[in-house]
Amino acid sequence: MFVIGVDPGLSRCGYCVLRPGKSRSRAVALGVMTTPVDAPVARRLALLQRDVRELLDEFPPTVLAIERVLFQVNVSTAMGVGQASGIVMAEAASRGCDVVEYSPNQVKGAVAGDGAADKDAVAEMVQRLLGLPTVPKPADAADAAAVALCHVAHSPALTVAPR
């Protein structure tokens, strides 16, 4: 059983494939899908969609957890994040996969114990909870792992809470 966590973005879309376990969740895959910033938006969305399909083909998830964007100062960034979120959620839902959204504060609270924790604190807790030798890089990958861990913490059906 896999839980996929996603930190959506059009330029960089973080992902983490998590396998919940009895004593500790394990990251099976962790990284970032990227699109060229100089390409037209439609092409970038198509590239992201292809990458998401490949990820879901390789690691069919039980659930896909995604960070919900509540506020962005930069309107063009918010549009791209929203578009990327839509692609990811639609691809997962079209396969019959449950899709769950978590706010940034929910993710931070579940992983770091503080809904106002900074990115470094969250990344360090991701490292500890997953038993990784280093803090995951780039930050989008660490954020995606935090989203997956948040789902494990909030899901009574899974065998392990991350802490």
Please indicate whether residue 7 is annotated as part of the active site: yes
Q: From the DSSP assignment, how many helices (H) and strands (E) are in the chain?
A: 5, 5
Q: Which of 51, 91, 140, 143 is catalytic?
A: 140
Burial 82-120 (b: 16+ CB within 10 A, else e): ebbbebbbebbeeeebebbebebebbbbbbbeeeebeee
Please indicate whether residue 114 is annotated as part of the active site: no
Q: Which of 7, 51, 91, 143 is catalytic?
A: 7
* H-helix segments, 59-138: 75-94, 104-112, 119-130
Q: Which of 51, 67, 91, 143 is catalytic?
A: 67
Q: How far apart are CA 101 and CA 126, in angstroms?
A: 19
Please indicate whether residue 91 is annotated as part of the active site: no
- Which residues does the annotation mark as catalytic? 7, 67, 140
